[in-house]
Chain A
């Protein structure tokens, strides 16, 4: 069988590759470089019962508000400038099942999966309530120190969803922001990886001899790629564009009542990706957003 090297898909076609009950890792970090166009497409789909793994921001909030999550594996969910994510809070307070981790444990669990190991040892979690969750086991160092450590289990993903800045049609990708977060580990921990890219370009335009440091993963890992200009909005995809703080406020306000959520959903979710951009003010407005202060 010939492998398919043209991996271009539409956003909805990517969602068509997902199925109920999957464990899905979502790249980025809180308010930065979240594959939001894909998340919105999941909200429009019939997908359900997902286990979501994320350094969480509005991706988790939206999926939780829409009842898509069966279980959340997380270390935090935050909008940074609004530290408490209102949709996540509501879901959590209604009893959304979780595995709560330390940020570094989440990293370690993905790394174990990426290395095809059952676990990686760590001190993180010792002395806390994190390790009272039933999944955790300890392991004793076989060396002279004999230290008891936490065996952080591998977090294996069915799918990783990532947002990148550039890609060619084969899935050679560039992540241009200064902090790549843990997208690479998400990709390596997953059976399939789908990316949205700000811009699809010919391979030569990736300028890999100079930009290779921004190429986090090999195309052999990438299953499909969709062009999604402003696909991270309202989160940032710096240096292309910054966080939309005004929209974040609109988003936060949407948790105030079922009516507010329905109105937000109608205006910003139940619209085609092409119409979303107009709904949030257009390309010119988003590219002109100022650099936020953290």
Chain B
């Protein structure tokens, strides 16, 4: 039997799709090509009840490929204007996977500024919907480059989305809506199931060691006794991903589109 070839991007898509496996009928939002393809894969395979938009204003029956449109116009099944998206997210019926610039040991993330908020070294987007998202519905994260500039020591420079930091809550407890799920990176899949929601390594991408992940993280990671390898995509999954991404945007995320299995040949 020949080994399946798959790229790191495809490994990440398959791992990230798991975020939505048990969510039932909710709005799935994936920001950026890989999270969006991951949500699309989840919808096309194991959770068809997910609702997704075409990236702007409409819910569509099937996931819409990222990038230039080809073929028939997508079938629309509803309006997703911003007012309704806010209503949906405040109601908790959404799970977003977003790509912040920084994350800390509490799962607090930042997309606003690097440096001081009054006179930043680098101004980025602004907090966008991160504060509201974080305390109302489940959130997962994608980082294309797992390193200590992204996984910072201490706290992120400007906390845009709330995390499991007891000092920031009256009585130490976060709002009931705070529910951080997965972190998918170029090295590993992590979650928040360590002691007191500490960030734990859930699986290592093939050829990556725990030490590599820890060395690229600015805070101590929770290490379970046994860490499985991130599952390789199946032939079926690779076929579906190819169909969901005819513009091959997945090849543009990691420099050189490296293979997903980085074990020495």
In angstroms, Cα B113 to Cα A75, docked, is 12
Are A77 and B159 in contact, CB atoms less than 8 angstroms apart? no
Q: Which of B79, B119, B126, B161 contacts A128 (CB 8 A)?
A: B161
Are B170 and A104 in contact, CB atoms less than 8 angstroms apart? no
Number of chain B residues whose Cβ lies closer than 8 Å to a Cβ of chain A: 52
- Number of A-B residue pairs, CB cutoff 8 Å, is 134
Query: B residues near A, CB below 8 A?
Result: 54-58, 66-69, 79, 81-83, 86, 89-90, 108, 112-113, 117-132, 134-136, 158-163, 165, 168-170, 174-175, 177-178
From B109, which residue of chain A is reached at the shortest CB distance? A128
Are B128 and A75 in contact, CB atoms less than 8 angstroms apart? yes
From B68, which residue of chain A is reached at the shortest CB distance? A293
In angstroms, Cα B161 to Cα A207, docked, is 45
Are A92 and B135 in contact, CB atoms less than 8 angstroms apart? no
By a CB distance below 8 angstroms, the chain B residues around A127 are 108, 131, 134-135, 159, 162-163, 165, 168-169, 174-175, 178
A241 at the A/B interface (Cβ < 8 Å)? no
Are B57 and A178 in contact, CB atoms less than 8 angstroms apart? yes
In angstroms, Cα B66 to Cα A150, docked, is 37
In angstroms, Cα B89 to Cα A124, docked, is 11
A181 at the A/B interface (Cβ < 8 Å)? yes
From B130, which residue of chain A is reached at the shortest CB distance? A102
Within 8 A of B (CB), among A104-138: 104-105, 107, 122-130
In angstroms, Cα B122 to Cα A63, docked, is 20
By a CB distance below 8 angstroms, the chain A residues around B58 are 178
Q: Most B CB atoms within 10 A — which of A95, A103, A122, A178?
A: A103
From B171, which residue of chain A is reached at the shortest CB distance? A148
Are B122 and A124 in contact, CB atoms less than 8 angstroms apart? no
In angstroms, Cα B86 to Cα A102, docked, is 11
**Would you give the 0/1 interface string for A250-272, flagging 1 where the beta carbon is closer than 8 Å to chain B?**
00000000000000000000000
From A238, which residue of chain B is reached at the shortest CB distance? B57
Are A293 and B128 in contact, CB atoms less than 8 angstroms apart? no
Given A100-B117, A123-B136, A127-B134: A179 and B126 interface contact (C-beta under 8 Å): no
